[in-house]
């Protein structure tokens, strides 16, 4: 038991050991407790020396409260988040719980590589330059807000990364999103990256009308901008160099 507790909210990257940061590896090794969802713990188990506490999907609030309680008892605790903790991870929930309850503990976020950073190069460079990041899950955000953001991102001609596109319960939301995208871009090409950096990694470029059938909750969908090059298995969003520089080699 430590004399003084500390909470680390640790981004462990998209799903492979090699994309852990040096800092994440260090704090995972040094923690008394490492708390997270099974899916995220599996590839870091052998890094952890302390006690592992598995928690189920949808139990985020419980997990955060448990972690804070252990820190108050004097332990060093890592709360793990897939990808980066700010991007649909646990950092905002931890910050909110600490803020609303006026809790005084030592805590720190260890940023990580988000799924979009790992998915983009699987197609060449699908996401580049200005982009918008939207989750299609309406569990915490009302659908009208999600729809509005999707429309504005399409009107702004952003490259768009769609997280959490679908689950068995929410299949119809992805179908709604597909209809909205079609209004602006027709039956465009989109990139799908499933299980990025994990067993069963799969990437494909398909037409929009195939997406609802193919995407699941472990898929990241990339909607290209009007400037994006799509050719075979390549999706490349140029930064604009070719208009100012000679790119011939």
Given a contact cutoff of 8 angstroms between Cβ atoms, the answer to whether 71 and 7 are in contact is yes
* Beta carbon nearer to a second copy, 189 or 210: 189
* Beta carbon nearer to a second copy, 26 or 210: 26
* Beta carbon nearer to a second copy, 1 or 22: 22
Given a contact cutoff of 8 angstroms between Cβ atoms, the answer to whether 247 and 239 are in contact is no
Kindly report the number of other CB atoms within 10 A of residue 207's CB atom: 11
Q: Each residue of 138-169: b (16+ CB within 10 Å) or e?
A: beeeeeeebbebbeebbeeebbbbbbbbbbee
CB of 245 vs a second copy, minimal distance in Å: 5
* Beta carbon nearer to a second copy, 116 or 178: 116
CB of 215 vs a second copy, minimal distance in Å: 18
CB of 124 vs a second copy, minimal distance in Å: 4
How far, in Å, CA of 111 to CA of 131, rounded? 20
CB of 161 vs a second copy, minimal distance in Å: 10
């Amino acid at each position: 038991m430590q004399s003084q507790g500390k909470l680390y909210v640790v981004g462990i990257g998209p799903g492979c050991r090699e994309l852990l940061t040096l800092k994440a590896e260090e704090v995972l090794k040094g923690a008394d407790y490492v708390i997270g969802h099974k899916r995220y713990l599996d590839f870091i188990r052998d890094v952890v020396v302390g006690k592992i506490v598995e928690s189920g999907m949808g139990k985020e609030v419980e997990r955060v409260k448990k972690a804070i309680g252990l820190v108050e008892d004097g332990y060093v605790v890592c709360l793990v988040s897939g990808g980066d903790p700010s991007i649909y991870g646990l950092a905002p929930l931890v910050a909110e719980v600490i803020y609303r309850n006026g809790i005084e503990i030592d805590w720190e976020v260890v940023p990580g590589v988000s799924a979009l950073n790992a998915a983009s190069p699987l197609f060449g460079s699908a996401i580049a330059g200005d982009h918008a990041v939207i989750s299609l899950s309406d569990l915490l955000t009302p659908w009208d807000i999600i729809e509005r953001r999707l429309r504005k991102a399409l009107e702004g001609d952003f490259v768009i990364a769609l997280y959490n596109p679908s689950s068995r319960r929410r299949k119809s939301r992805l179908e709604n999103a597909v209809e909205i995208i079609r209004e602006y871009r027709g039956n465009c090409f989109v990139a799908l990256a499933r299980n990025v950096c994990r067993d069963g990694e799969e990437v494909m470029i398909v037409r929009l009308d195939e997406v609802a059938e193919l995407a699941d909750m472990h898929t990241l969908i990339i909607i290209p901008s009007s400037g994006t090059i799509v050719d075979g298995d390549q999706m490349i969003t140029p930064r604009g160099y070719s208009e100012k520089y000679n790119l011939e080699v």
